Amino acid sequence: MFSLQHKTAVVTGGGSGIGRAVAELFAKQGASVFILELNKTAADETVNAIKANGGKASAFAVNVSDQLQVKDTFAEIAQAAGRVDILVNSAGVSHIGKLDTTSSEDFEKIFQVNVKGVYNTMFAVIQQMKLQGGGVILNVASVASNVGIADRFAYSMSKGAVLTMTLSVAKDYINDNIRCNSISPARIHTSFVDNFLAKNYPGQEKEMFEKLSNTQPIGRLRSTDEVAALALYLCSDEASFVTGSDYPLDGGFIKLNN
C-alpha cells in the first residue's frame, strides 16, 4: 500500500522540517522527488540523504514568491520527467505579532511566501496536471487556519488563505481528476524549537518544552515524520476518493481546546 512507484513529486521547502520528511518518505516509497528550496545547500543535503538510501531526487534553488522562476522550474521538471503527479506545498515562514505589532514589511513578507508562493506553484502545475489527466496537490496549512492563536496575526492570515485556496482548487478541478487537500499541523518538535528555547530560556529548556508540549491535549509535540505519513496517504492512490478536505494533525488542539 501507499506506493509512489513511477510517480513524480515536487516538494517545496524540502530542505528542512516537514518538507524534508515528506521528500525522504516519498522517495522511499518510490517517487522521483524534485525539491524546490530557497536554501540550495539544505536541499542538496536532503537529496544526498535520499540518494544514499537508493532513492531518486533533484534540487532546484527557487524563490517560490517569484512566479517566473517557479513557472520555468516546473517546465523544466515536466520536460525532464514527462509529468508531475504530486505537488506538496510545505515552504513557509512564520511571524510573531498582533495586528498593531505587525509592520507592513512583515505582512508583505508572510504574504509573498505563504500565500503567493502556494498560488505560484499551483498556477505553474495545474495545466500540466490537466494535460496528463490528473494529479494531486497537498498544501500545508496550520491549526491557525481554523482557530485564533495569540500573536500570530499575519501567519494566521496566510494559513487561512492556504486553506481556502485548497478548497477552491479542489472544487474547480475535480472534473480534471485533480485532487487538492491540506494538512493543518499543530506545534512540531524540530531543532528550531530546541534552539529557540536555548536562546530565550537558558536553564529552563526542559520546563518550557514541557509547557509547549502541554498546549496539545495529547501531551506532546508532533514529529515531522507523522506529518509525512499523513501526506503520503493523501498523495497516494489509496486516497483517490479524498479531495477538498483539511486534516488537522494537532493532538486534539482544535476540538479539545475550544
> What pLDDT digit, counting tens, does each position of 232-250 carry?
999 999 999 999 999 998 7
Residue 136 sits in the same domain as residue 59:
yes
Please check whether residues 127 and 161 belong to one and the same domain: yes
User: In this model, does residue 200 exceed pLDDT 90?
Assistant: no
For the segment 129-158, the average pLDDT, to the nearest whole number, is: 94
β pairing state of 56-61 and 246-249: unpaired
Both 129 and 211 in one domain: the answer is no
Whether residue 200 is contained in a domain is answered as yes
Look up the CATH number of the domain holding residue 143. Answer: 3.40.50.720
Clarify whether residues 38 and 144 are in a common domain.
Answer: yes
Q: Which domain holds residue 204?
A: 188-221
Q: Where residue 192 falls among pLDDT bands split at 50, 70, 90?
A: low
Phi-psi region of 162 (alpha: psi -120 to 50; beta: other; left: phi over 0): alpha
Pair 243, 168 in one domain: yes
In terms of domains, do 211 and 110 share one?
no
| 3: in domain | no
Q: In sequence order, what DSSP letters do the residues of 53-76 get, joined into one string?
A: TT-EEEEEE--TT-HHHHHHHHHH
> Confidence class of residue 196 from pLDDT cuts 50, 70 and 90?
low
Residue 36 sits in the same domain as residue 90 = yes
> How many structural domains does the chain have?
2
Catalytic residue among 155, 173, 201, 247: 155
Report whether pLDDT(255) > 80.
no
Q: Are residues 87 and 38 both part of a single domain?
A: yes
Statement to judge: residues 178 and 238 lie in one domain: yes
Does 195 share its domain with 90? no
Q: Which residue has cell 524549537? A: 193
Reading the block at residue 252, the C-alpha cell is 486534539
Examine residue 54 and state whether it is found in any structural domain, yes or no: yes
Residue 39 lies in a domain: yes
User: Do 207 and 250 fall into the same domain?
Assistant: no
Four-CA torsion 197, 203, 208, 213, nearest 10 degrees: 80
Residue 173 domain-assigned (yes or no)? yes
**What is the pLDDT at residue 210?**
82
pTM to 2 decimal places: 0.91
Does the active-site annotation cover 155?
yes
Query: Rounded to whole angstroms, what are the CA distances from 125 to 56, 144, 239?
Result: 20, 26, 20
Residue 120 C-alpha cell reads as 505560484
Instruction: Say if 2 falls within a structural domain.
Output: no
Do 169 and 137 touch, CB atoms closer than 8 A? yes
* Domain assignment of residue 1, yes or no: no
* Domain co-membership, 143 together with 229: yes
- Work out the mean pLDDT of the chain and round it to a whole number: 92
Q: Which set of grid coordinates corresponds to residue 83?
A: 509529468
Tell me, what amino acid is at 122? M
